[in-house]
């Protein structure tokens, strides 16, 4: 563990009226780690990711990303994060290339033409680059959304249920991309409610339920699978 984590949450709480979104959440993620937020739908996983991206504001607690307070240095933090949520944030009437060009301008990227070409190739969309996105399958749109979110080479990548609705090819491409990011030393936080995909390089798993941390888990995938099944069975 380092003294300068990429993500630091201390006693974070989020309320929606009288309903608990998150309660007493403390998590530390170091550079290059792969953290999975595990839990049922409604456990608080998406709320936590939205707080890290500043799409939602916590009621209390401390949140830092790349050593910066998310409330004090929003513009600097935004350039450090790549986020893929439930909505792709793509423009349906634009082509894949035009979508990436638009975001390249927002991030003020240099040599964006070559970066866009590489991103389209990595997403296996180079032969569909000039087609409007409205005609893309769910898997193609998700691959483009990931290319969009990581075009500026963020230090921290946040993925909210990224495998949902993907075909086999797109799921395999995503798994390969995650492995590549880890090889490059990126930090990844991914939210999921199931364990259909096997993640052998996960640093730790945080099990959430009803907005609270139930347990922080480490170990091989089979051990995590068994513990998660036990937890789900205990709720029945």
Confidence of residue 74 (pLDDT cuts 50, 70, 90): confident
Q: How far is it, in rounded angstroms, from Cα 76 to Cα 65?
A: 10
Q: Model pTM?
A: 0.93
Q: Compare 7 and 198 and report the one with higher pLDDT.
A: 7
* β partners of residue 210: none
Confidence of residue 38 (pLDDT cuts 50, 70, 90): very high
- Among the listed ranges 23-32, 85-94, 99-108, 198-207, which one has the minimum average pLDDT value? 198-207
Task: Give Cα 169 distance to the centre of its chain.
Answer: 20
Enumerate the domain spans of the chain: 1-73+187-236
What is the tens place of the pLDDT at every residue in 143-169? 999 999 999 999 999 999 998 888 888
Q: Compare 221 and 93 and report the one with higher pLDDT.
A: 93
Q: What is the pLDDT of residue 197?
A: 66
User: Is 80 exceeded by the pLDDT of residue 199?
Assistant: no
- Among the listed ranges 17-31, 68-82, 91-105, which one has the minimum average pLDDT value? 68-82
Q: What is the pLDDT of residue 105?
A: 94
Percent of the chain past pLDDT 90, that is, above it, reads 75
User: Is 80 exceeded by the pLDDT of residue 113?
Assistant: yes
User: Is 90 exceeded by the pLDDT of residue 193?
Assistant: no
User: Is 60 exceeded by the pLDDT of residue 28?
Assistant: yes
Q: What is the pLDDT of residue 198?
A: 59
Confidence of residue 6 (pLDDT cuts 50, 70, 90): very high
What are the E-state strand segments in 17-59? 19-29, 34-38
Longest Cα separation, the chain: 55
**Contact status, residue 77 vs residue 65, Cβ threshold 8 Å:** yes
What is the tens place of the pLDDT at every residue in 86-108? 888 899 999 999 999 999 999 88
Strands 60-65 vs 68-69: parallel, antiparallel or unpaired: antiparallel
Q: What is the pLDDT of residue 76?
A: 83
Q: How far is it, in rounded angstroms, from Cα 103 to Cα 144?
A: 12
Q: Could you tell me the sign of the dihedral formed by the alpha carbons of 121, 82, 215, 14, in that order? A: negative
Q: What is the pLDDT of residue 134?
A: 97
- Domain 1-73+187-236 top-level CATH class: alpha beta
Q: What is the pLDDT of residue 62?
A: 96
Q: How far is it, in rounded angstroms, from Cα 211 to Cα 225?
A: 21
Q: How far is it, in rounded angstroms, from Cα 136 to Cα 165?
A: 13
Quick one: tokens of 127? 């032969």
**Contact status, residue 31 vs residue 185, Cβ threshold 8 Å:** yes
């Amino acid at each position: 563990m380092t003294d300068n984590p990429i993500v630091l949450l201390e006693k974070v709480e989020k309320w929606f009226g009288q309903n608990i979104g998150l309660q007493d959440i403390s998590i530390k993620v170091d550079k290059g780690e792969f953290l999975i937020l595990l839990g049922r739908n409604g456990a608080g996983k998406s709320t936590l990711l939205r707080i890290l991206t500043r799409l939602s504001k916590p009621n209390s607690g401390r949140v830092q990303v790349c050593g910066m307070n998310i409330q004090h240095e929003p513009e600097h933090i935004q350039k450090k994060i790549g986020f893929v949520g439930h909505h792709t944030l793509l423009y349906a009437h634009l082509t894949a290339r035009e979508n990436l060009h638009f975001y390249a301008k927002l991030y003020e990227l240099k040599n964006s033409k070559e970066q866009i070409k590489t991103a389209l190739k990595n997403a296996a969309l180079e032969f569909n680059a000039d087609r409007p996105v409205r005609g893309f399958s769910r898997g193609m749109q998700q691959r483009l959304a990931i290319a969009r979110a990581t075009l500026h080479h963020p230090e921290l990548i946040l993925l909210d249920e990224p495998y949902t609705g993907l075909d086999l090819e797109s799921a395999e491409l995503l798994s390969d991309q995650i492995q590549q990011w880890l090889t490059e030393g990126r930090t990844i936080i991914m939210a999921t409610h199931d364990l259909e995909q096997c993640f052998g390089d996960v640093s730790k798993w945080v099990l959430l339920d009803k907005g609270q941390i139930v347990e922080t888990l480490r170990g091989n995938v089979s051990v995590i699978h068994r513990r998660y099944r036990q937890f789900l069975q205990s709720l029945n």
